[in-house]
Structure 1
Amino acid sequence: MSKKQNQSIIRKMISITIIALILGAVCFLGGVLLAQRTHSGKTVITSDTLFQQLRSVSQLTTIEYHYTNMGKFEKNADLNGWTIPLTKASFILAYDGKITAGVRLDDVKIDVAQTTITITLPAAEILSHEVDESSIEVYDESNNIFNPISISDYAAFSKQQKEVMENKVIEGGLLLQARQKAGEVISQLLTTANPEYTIVVQEAKSE
């Protein structure tokens, strides 16, 4: 791989964007509005109706994280745990990926007490992780006649790199941002739909 190609990949790796999504929130708002019941001109909300509407949404995706990753694979043939000299095989894999994060609403807890609606959300998690197969590029492939690179090597390395990226974004606070955005979206939508209620959104305590 030339120096110019390497610099291009590094620039792509740096240009990472985080996008807040509201598509799920729009569906959620529609459900909440349909869940409302009117009695004597006053909106009446129950935890059951809200819970059913939240379950119909299933999950709320609040963060979409785009990235470009580059990783190097190396392997040597071995015999009884001893590395055999001159059997090294390697390649560099570069690709684009997308991680979405948010909260699953199946486990949400809802409490309606007088004029206060309390929503307890589960912890945010990674909801999906996709790799753009058309973006995959292999550089500096060094095969070895005594230790050839196989398709299973590419598959195993790609899986490992996905796990590396997920751990990296989690350590960088992606799930915290997803949880915060989910709370903001739900609070805003419920407040808009039910201005006479005080909305409290909190995260479930870890056991």
Structure 2
Amino acid sequence: MKYFEGIKGKLLLIAIVVIFILGTIGYAKISVQRKTNLLSNKVEEQVTKLMELSTVKYSYTNVVEYEDKMQLSGINLPFTNKRFILKYSGYIKAGINLDTIEVKVKDKNSVEIIMENAEIFENVIPEEEVYFFDEKESIFNKLSFKDLYVVLIEEKDKMEKEAVDKGLLNDAEKNGSEILKYLLEGMGFKNITIRFK
């Protein structure tokens, strides 16, 4: 221990301790790894028989800008603005619910089909078709998963309404009628009447 006596010795001891501490910290930083656990439990599983005839598919892609800020008496508060731009793609499927079909065979050549109007079966935005751009948040207003969820639900409803306004359900009924007519003609029927309730 006589190496560490005197001023030079004490400086040497301090230098060794500092090097040891820095080395330990550096090693700890290098060896730090992120460990992620994903726990998954199946809550419910169900297989259901479907009686759906999808006759039309409407695909869409859209870009929406989301912005949220806090206000006090109509005045924007500083450091409370959050925003993002979202690009997404999805699809809507519509068609005929086959459970509602009534078949009236009049004779070997004539048949009447009565069924409910077409309906929407699916409105889906796959997760892999959602892209974020220009994400910004503030100290007092953080971005959250709920923001994305709310935007996507609103956009799905909006796109469904637009599709229906453009005649999606009318197209589904027309296509469904053509498919059923083709099948019934293949069965030998010549006089085919198809009505929607």
TM-score, length-scaled by structure 2: 0.68
Q: Does the alignment pair 1:166 with 2:172?
A: no
CA offset digits 1:106-164 (Å, max 9, x no partner): 11222222342111121111111221211211112221211111111111111111111
**1:22-42 deviation line (CA, Å, top 9, x unaligned):** xxxxxxxxxxxxxxxxxxxxx
In the alignment, is residue 74 of structure 1 matched against residue 87 of structure 2?
A: no
Q: Aligned letter for 2:59?
A: H
1:1-207 pair list within 5 angstroms: 58-78=51-71, 84-86=76-78, 87-114=80-107, 115-195=109-189, 197-204=190-197
| Matched-pair identity in % | 29
- Equivalent pairs, count: 147
Unmatched tracts of structure 1, length 5 or more: 1-55
Residues in 1 aligned to 2:195 and 2:50: alpha-carbon distance in whole angstroms: 19
Maintained 8 Å contact 1:76/1:83? no
RMSD of the TM alignment (CA)? 1.9
Q: Distance in 2 between matches of 1:164 and 1:59?
A: 24
1:155 is matched by which residue type in structure 2? Y
Which runs of 5 or more structure 2 residues have no equivalent in the other structure?
1-48
* Distance in 2 of aligned mates of 1:173 and 1:88: 39
Tell me how far apart the structure 1 counterparts of residues 101 and 159 of structure 2 sit (CA, whole Å). 28
TM-score with structure 1 length normalisation?
A: 0.65
Q: What SS class does the counterpart of residue 72 from structure 1 fall into?
A: strand
| Structure 2 CA distance for aligned equivalents of residues 70 and 158 of structure 1 | 11
Q: 1:101, 1:127 within 8 Å by CA — same for their partners in 2?
A: yes
What is the CA–CA distance in structure 1 between the aligned matches of 2:123 and 2:85, rounded to whole Å?
A: 21
Amino acid at match of 1:68: T
Shift in alpha-carbon separation, 1:117–1:144, aligned structure 2, 3 A: same
Larger-gyration structure (1/2): 2
The ranges of structure 1 where at least 4 consecutive aligned residues each deviate by more than 4 angstroms after the TM superposition are 81-84
